Amino acid sequence: RRLTYPEVDAFLEGAAGLGDPAMEAGVRLAMELARRLRARRMRRGALDIVTGEPRFRFDGDRIVSVEMETQTESHSLIEECMIAANEAVARFLIAKRVPALYRVHADPDQVAIEDLWERLEIVGIPVPPLAEGILASEQRREAAGVAAHAVRLHVDRTGEGAASLPYMVLRALQKAVYRPDETSHSGLASPAYLHFTSPIRRYPDLVVHRALAHALGLGEPAPDAAMLPEVARDASDRERDATDLERRADRMCLAYLLAQSMQGDAWDRPRDGEVTGVGQSGLFITFDEVFDGFLPFRHMPDDHYMPDELSAEAVGEDTGRRVRLGDPVRVRVHDIEPLRGRVTLDLADRPAGRR
């Protein structure tokens, strides 16, 4: 029987059964294993950064709704099992000396950590001072963990910043890439890691499956070690391209859904938002939990705002008013361009926007 995430979450919360005692026992055991695996990762220094992503519901080829999906216990169960499988295959291929593609996440660099500490100070999140001088790789990795923990405590305590502050930490980290050598994965605190679990949607996983089949003596030739550096670069480049396209598609779908909802007095309705970015000409805002828009400084008539060098806050030149990442803000929709995935906002106390 195939289980869904909501079914497993309801079972783990005690709200519903699965109709099969053996299956229920298996899910309980798997969840306990996942919790122990996660606890072990946290002890060895893995980062704990909570974010969400939009999930769209379609009726045929028409988008009908969206909600922000965050990680639940059922998601955590699957994630921990996937991480464990990926690590096990990495260890096995290293032991067998079979060429493969590894998922490498370098430790954050010195400047990124120093800038992150300045941003945390600007937005009012307390962290211990950094050690003087050049930080060792392990110290930089530990600093990222301290920042992630401080952000999570701040969000839990204040109820603010959930849409922006975790991403502030993520932007301080280096990008994970594919490489043919088994360098460690900083975010997972794993000495060797690769992608094995999704060969139907990621080419690097297919390379790993071929390597594993060779290591198991199943007649598959080993990946060509001389070709793997180029394959790794191409896979990393295509991943970046796919991520950019996914984000553009998300913006277009969200703008389309928002436009469909703008009936009656919807243009006049104030909406609760959060500052998620500070640009040269305005603020990026997440509002109504899932939609994104841009609030130009020219639509903030109380002052002339200037962004700081770290893009963590904007300061009014006359009043000294500061608008920071994570700050709550009330906005109203000014204009929507679905094909460009663009939503322009006003402050809620300005006159209604275009229709």
CA–CA distance, 140 with 169 (Å, rounded to integer): 13
325-334: per-residue pLDDT in tens? 999 999 999 9
Residue 37: pLDDT band (50, 70, 90) is very high
Under 8 Å between Cβ of 285 and 276: yes
Under 8 Å between Cβ of 194 and 102: yes
- Dihedral of the alpha carbons of 230, 231, 234, 240, in degrees to the nearest 10: -130
Residue 353: pLDDT band (50, 70, 90) is very low
Mean pLDDT, the chain, integer: 94
CA–CA distance, 180 with 344 (Å, rounded to integer): 44
Amino acid at 351: P
Phi, psi of 127 (to 5 degrees): -140, 150
Domains of the chain: 5-104+177-253 (no CATH), 110-172 (no CATH), 266-347 (2.40.50.140)
Give the residue among 186, 188, 175 at the shortest CA–CA distance from 243.
Answer: 175
Q: What angle do CA 289, 53, 45 make, to 5 degrees?
A: 115
- Confidence at residue 277, expressed as pLDDT on a 0 to 100 scale: 97
62-113: per-residue pLDDT in tens? 999 999 988 899 999 999 999 999 999 999 999 999 999 999 999 999 999 9
Predicted TM-score (pTM) of this structure: 0.90
